[in-house]
Structure 1
Amino acid sequence: MAAPSTRKAAKKAVSSPASSNGTAVAAGAPAEAPRKKAVTAKAARPTTPRAKRGSPVEAEPVSVAAEHKPKRVKKEKVVRDSFTMPKPDYEKLGELKAKCLSAGVAVKKSELLRAGLLLLEAAPLAQLLEAIAAVETVKTGRPAKPSHQTAAH
């Protein structure tokens, strides 16, 4: 008979809400009865694991781990600009995008232009000047509207 009553007390202690001192109290039961059963249950278990669980020593490694988080790197501000280029050069951007895509790399036009800047920056001065000389000069600004569109309005 003693074994079944011990099991019932263990079930009540597990399923009932915890009191402020960490022991479980059965709802509607007298205050003394659960304490006696909880004491017998505590006597069967070692007290050291329970002391470690509630000790603030375990909370410190969590805060130490939080301190080792890398700081956020601020993103650089981007500048939006427009430029003019001949149509064949613009089409080369599309060809280069397709070439990268066939290699399994999706790239944007702005990324291609920035990659070109990196290559030009790393090139020797003579090669840079050669590339500049090969590029034709275009008139800056927006292209003029064709005259037949303005006459239609």
Structure 2
Amino acid sequence: MSDLELKKTAEKYACSRGLALADHLGSGTDGSVWKTKSNDTNDMTVVKAFQAQKNYRMELGCYQRLEFHNVWKVGRFAIPRMVDFSDEWLVIEMSIVTAPYLLDFGKTYLDFEPEHSPETWADFHQEQKEVWEDKYDEVQAVLSELRSMGIYYRDPRPGNIMF
């Protein structure tokens, strides 16, 4: 699905909820994200339109799991609250958070960790140490807390975890 198609989908969702798309915040392999503004109250939220059902389902499942556990912060990192969603349009609407934050649950796994060889895991952890340097232990603590809820976060990179 192209960015234009994702935008049209996000606009349909927004219109159905009395919202207007505002700033485009970014695009990635999972989809695209826009800030929205309520037509009635000027309240702001964010909508993410997904490329694929799989990533939409994973991210939706994570937000539902976090909501079930009443978790909106992991360590010092704020997590957006899910406001609404649409299975029809593969869109999730969420609150706006400011740094430090943890975003983007589209590549997560629920209730199981993907299998990889010991070498692959070793390479992954070495790469994470290089990326995060002195923040590595704090990032690992965040990932561990998510795992304790059955959320296996697979995209721990700057931009998704912002200090």
Q: What range is the shorter-chain TM-score in?
A: under 0.3
Higher share of residues assigned strand: 2
Higher share of residues assigned helix: 1
* TM-score where L is the length of structure 2: 0.19
* TM-score where L is the length of structure 1: 0.20
Greater relative contact order (Cα 8 A, min sep 6): structure 1 or 2? 2
